[in-house]
Structure 1
């Protein structure tokens, strides 16, 4: 009986708060849901005039790549706005700043069962925006010139909150694995982003979201995948 209880303790979804550090670990969202998510605690407020956001993802394509499905990759929501969202939707990858309707869209390779290194850069002074997939940059687009990302929100993986930490939609939930979510308050160089792709980091330490020392809260059916599976 004792061994059964120990096994159940390993297999049951982790529901806790105040954890920190995800070095060599990943997060696995095994199925669509309207209640499973990770809340990330930033190193500093997201009061941003520029950023580089990088992450590694693999998905269940039978769910995520369905025609007309929207899948949230990262959401940053304040009390009143979808302040910063990254999506895969309708055959494209997209970025939205302070909007749920006016985004910037990229017809780049979609996520798959194999791990993809995905980065996005944006700078307010020029509006220049680009996505990077496995170290290769998309064409530049101009988006939200002179805009500023506001602080005071929550960073969420797995769900898109239509209200502050609520109103989730199962048909927009993430299904797959996410790891190495890092964010800087500047636009990194191409060489630095390619080093992220190779997991040989020579650039500045992530100063907004740092996966290695991240404080995070797990809610619902999300598994922290140990190093041996990475």
Structure 2
């Protein structure tokens, strides 16, 4: 009986805590080829549609990864990447990539980004700080299968690894949500404006299971107005 209890204690100790990170950020203060946060995705079925939303704050003028989801068969299943060019964003679905131009890009300020993709039509779109891109075509009629490895702070060139310092994120990331459907424009605007919205059902910042490695810190967010009292 004692052995069984010990096994249960050890098993529970291996599982990352589920935290409500409302009002918090992951802070990445320096370039690194190791520092990252691994998120546990709540999905057991193939992904054939999705909306990813997050906010980032950075003053970098080089390319950096904002969100990376890989499976054992593909390292760039879902990748949101910020190239160095002002107003340019790049998305990947199962290795195919597409660039969007002319979107807001506030250096040293908060950028609220939502990315949608639907396999049935192949349509994908970006929203940044309330401005939307055109709808574009990317990888129709496929599903993302396999156990997902979700990483913040690095781009995965192999499943769960293959990090490069010059692709690492430097700055703050907060309010990461992932849904297994395409949100409506109204729902996206509620998120971008910081109003009440239904959290992601695949990744939920308010109930997030994660593990960090290296110099990554959980700090207070200043995205919303903060009233300071003496």
TM range (shorter): 0.7 to 0.9
Structure 1 segments of 4+ aligned residues over 3 angstroms from their partners: 227-230
Structure 2: distance between partners of 1:45 and 1:170: 32
- Does structure 1 retain, via aligned residues, the 8 Å contact 2:123–2:137? yes
Structure 1: distance between partners of 2:17 and 2:108: 28
Report the equivalent of 2:119: 124
- 1:207 equivalent to 2:201? Answer yes
CA RMSD of aligned residues (A): 1.9
TM-score by length of 1: 0.84
TM-score by length of 2: 0.84
Aligned length: 206
Q: Whose relative contact order is higher, 1 or 2, with alpha carbons under 8 Å and at least 6 apart? A: 1
Q: Given the superposition, is the C-alpha separation of residues 51 and 228 from structure 1 closer, same or farther in structure 2, using an over 3 Å criterion?
A: closer
Report the equivalent of 1:19: 17
Report the equivalent of 1:85: 79
Question: Deviation digits for residues 58-81 of structure 1, max 9, x if unmatched?
Answer: 1123xxx23xxx311100111231
Q: 1:115 aligns with which of 106, 110, 113?
A: 110
- 5+ long unaligned stretches in structure 2: 1-13, 225-230
- 1:51 equivalent to 2:57? Answer no
Q: Given the superposition, is the C-alpha separation of residues 79 and 191 from structure 1 closer, same or farther in structure 2, using an over 3 Å criterion?
A: same
Report the equivalent of 1:106: 100
Question: Deviation digits for residues 68-113 of structure 1, max 9, x if unmatched?
Answer: xx311100111231211110124221111111xx301101233521
1:163-174 pair list within 5 angstroms = 163-174=158-169
Q: Secondary structure at the match of 2:90?
A: strand
Structure 2: distance between partners of 1:119 and 1:46: 22
- Does structure 2 retain, via aligned residues, the 8 Å contact 1:71–1:89? yes
Give the drift of 1:205: 3.4
- 1:97 equivalent to 2:93? Answer yes
